[in-house]
């Protein structure tokens, strides 16, 4: 096969074999050129919720293409975007009244940060600090890289990144330290917003913390008029067991970011939801208070139609029951590893399960990650460990047998890797 001219994401091409080509997708599977069925145990980077090519979403896309392609959204609107916005507001935590569309998780968080800074600027009280949590990941644009964890991923771009204030991750038994740090930052009067992944820090290693911490962080933010930005790009759409993770803390953020599962994973689309007060701060006869942000494909009508169909699935199918069943299956399968010295920090929230392989060298760049990934692929599984962190986040259509296959592979692969195979 001729060498591909494609440059793949998060891929060191000097070390990786040629990419396997996928010719079709179905349910929980990717199907390659040789007809091999690969169980998508991570929902193709956490985007596929109901399963690949859900018939209702595919039909909505086909129907939309009969009427639409792309429409400039700065001067016009269209029915799919209007319907979707209304329905998002209806299902979102109370108080979120306006929807700004973009294209990806990174861009919707970037929008959130800009909106937060614009809110205070337009009120004549500019604040210049953003607070984040260590180990967080919010995207790969400049603003979201600034808000995320620093390290080898971002070393080349450090000159472009702005400074933020970082909270310690609320380790069990040390939660008060995190809360005290946040209050100390807020006392400066300079904090515009807290940007946080609620309940689970995804790319940072599937780090899980309690809903109470989230609730108290929101209380502190409100006390100091600091905006609370919930990055629900990964945690939304049922991944933590509820539609949005914030629901488990009983809170309404000032700004909520959603993408990934918004279209069921079928097409790229993102939305940033905000309160009435934030929208009103940008509403003025003075054009200088306009929110100056867009992309060429804002609110693509075909993607919006897919998202509307996704919401119909949530309303008309037993999605909640599938999520509950998946939670139970994870819990039962994880039980086999309790007390197993090969693993540490066995954890679960909703449909996300994770455990750490006790390997000599940990961290994202440890060789153990690629070794495990290769062994999983040989067993017909798409599982991409985060260094020594093994996690499963399958689509909700996965069966008990398929999930059991993934856990059997974790058991086998862990033994092989630790034995040096």
In a domain, 16, yes or no: no
- Chain mean pLDDT for the chain: 96
Angle, alpha carbons 59-63-67 (nearest 5°): 160
Alpha-carbon gap, residue 209 to 260, rounded angstroms: 22
Dump pLDDT digits (tens) for 236-288. 999 999 999 999 999 999 999 999 999 999 999 999 999 999 999 999 999 99
Alpha-carbon gap, residue 421 to 409, rounded angstroms: 14
The whole-angstrom distance between residue 296's C-alpha and the CA centroid of its chain comes to 23
- β-strand pairing of 352-357 with 165-167: unpaired
Residues 168 and 300 in one domain: yes
Dump pLDDT digits (tens) for 353-396. 999 999 987 666 778 999 999 999 999 999 999 999 999 999 99
Dump pLDDT digits (tens) for 21-52. 999 999 999 999 999 999 999 999 999 999 99
Residues 277 and 329 in one domain: no
Range of the domain at 73: 57-316
What SS3 string covers 56-109? HHHHHHHHHHCCCCCCCCCCCCCHHHHHHHHHHHHHCCCCEEEEEEECCHHHHH
- Position 185 pLDDT exceeds 70: yes
Q: 3-class SS at 277?
A: helix
DSSP 196-223: E-SSEETTTT-EE--HHHHHHHHHHHHH
Select from 297, 316, 335 the last residue of a domain: 316
In a domain, 20, yes or no: no
Alpha-carbon gap, residue 238 to 183, rounded angstroms: 30
Q: Contact at 8 Å (CB) between 129 and 192?
A: yes
Q: Contact at 8 Å (CB) between 161 and 145?
A: yes
Residues 230 and 287 in one domain: yes
Residues facing 131 on adjacent strands: 165, 194
DSSP 255-287: EEEE-GGGGTTSS--EEEEEEHHHHHHT-SSSG
In a domain, 235, yes or no: yes
Residues 170 and 245 in one domain: yes
In a domain, 50, yes or no: no
Residues 325 and 278 in one domain: no
Q: Contact at 8 Å (CB) between 295 and 102?
A: yes
Dump pLDDT digits (tens) for 62-121. 999 999 999 999 999 999 999 999 999 999 999 999 999 999 999 999 999 999 999 999
> What CATH number corresponds to the domain at position 334?
3.90.1150.10
In a domain, 293, yes or no: yes
The number of distinct structural domains making up the chain is: 2
Residue 122's closest CA among 17, 184, 192? 192
- Position 1 pLDDT exceeds 60: no
The whole-angstrom distance between residue 154's C-alpha and the CA centroid of its chain comes to 19
Q: pTM surpassing 0.75?
A: yes
Residues 238 and 249 in one domain: yes
Residues 337 and 354 in one domain: yes
In a domain, 26, yes or no: no
Q: What is the pLDDT of residue 362?
A: 64
Residues 231 and 361 in one domain: no
Q: Please give the span between the terminal C-alpha atoms of the chain, in angstroms, as a whole number.
A: 29
Residues 359 and 328 in one domain: yes
In a domain, 269, yes or no: yes
Residues 235 and 349 in one domain: no
HSE toward the beta carbon, residue 360, CA cutoff 13 A: 5
Residues 330 and 280 in one domain: no
In a domain, 174, yes or no: yes
- Position 290 pLDDT exceeds 60: yes
> What CATH number corresponds to the domain at position 101?
3.40.640.10
Residues 299 and 324 in one domain: no
HSE toward the beta carbon, residue 2, CA cutoff 13 A: 3
Alpha helices per DSSP H over 335-399: 368-378
Residues in the chain: 421
- Position 16 pLDDT exceeds 80: yes
């Amino acid at each position: 096969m001729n060498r591909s001219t494609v440059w793949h994401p998060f891929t060191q091409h000097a070390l990786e074999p040629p990419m396997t080509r996928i010719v079709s997708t179905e349910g929980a599977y990717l199907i390659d050129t040789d007809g091999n069925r690969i169980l998508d145990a991570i929902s193709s980077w956490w985007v596929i919720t109901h399963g690949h090519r859900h018939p209702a979403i595919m039909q909505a896309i086909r129907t939309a293409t009969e009427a639409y392609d792309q429409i400039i959204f700065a001067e016009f609107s269209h029915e799919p975007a209007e319907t979707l916005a209304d329905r998002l507001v209806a299902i979102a935590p109370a108080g979120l009244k306006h929807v700004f569309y973009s294209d990806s998780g990174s861009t919707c968080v970037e929008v959130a940060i800009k909106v937060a800074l614009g809110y205070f600027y337009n009120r004549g009280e500019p604040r210049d600090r953003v607070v984040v949590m260590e180990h967080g990941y919010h995207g790969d644009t400049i603003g979201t890289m600034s808000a995320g964890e620093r390290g080898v991923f971002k070393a080349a771009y450090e000159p472009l990144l702005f400074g933020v204030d970082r909270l310690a991750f609320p380790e069990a038994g040390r939660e008060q330290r995190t809360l005290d740090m946040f209050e100390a930052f807020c006392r400066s009067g300079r904090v515009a917003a807290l940007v946080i992944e609620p309940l689970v820090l995804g790319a940072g290693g599937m780090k899980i913390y309690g809903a109470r911490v989230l609730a108290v962080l929101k209380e502190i933010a409100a006390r100091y008029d600091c905006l609370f930005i919930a990055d629900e790009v990964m945690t939304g759409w049922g991944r933590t067991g509820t539609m949005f993770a914030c629901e488990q803390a009983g809170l309404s953020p000032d700004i909520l970011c959603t993408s990934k599962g918004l279209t069921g994973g079928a097409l790229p689309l993102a939305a940033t939801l905000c309160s009435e007060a934030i929208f009103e701060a940008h509403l003025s006869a003075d054009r200088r208070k306009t929110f100056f942000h867009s992309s060429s494909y804002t609110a693509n009508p075909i993607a919006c139609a897919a998202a509307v169909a996704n919401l119909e699935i949530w309303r008309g199918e037993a999605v909640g029951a599938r999520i509950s069943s998946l939670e139970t299956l994870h819990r039962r399968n994880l039980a086999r590893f309790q007390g197993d010295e090969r693993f540490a920090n066995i954890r679960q929230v909703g449909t996300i399960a994770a455990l750490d392989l006790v390997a000599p060298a940990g961290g994202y760049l440890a060789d153990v990650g690629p070794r495990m990934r290769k062994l999983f692929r040989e067993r017909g599984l798409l599982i991409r460990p985060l260094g020594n962190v093994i996690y499963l986040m399958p689509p909700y259509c996965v069966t008990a047998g398929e999930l059991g296959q993934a856990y059997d592979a974790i058991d086998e692969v862990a033994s092989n890797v630790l034995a040096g195979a």
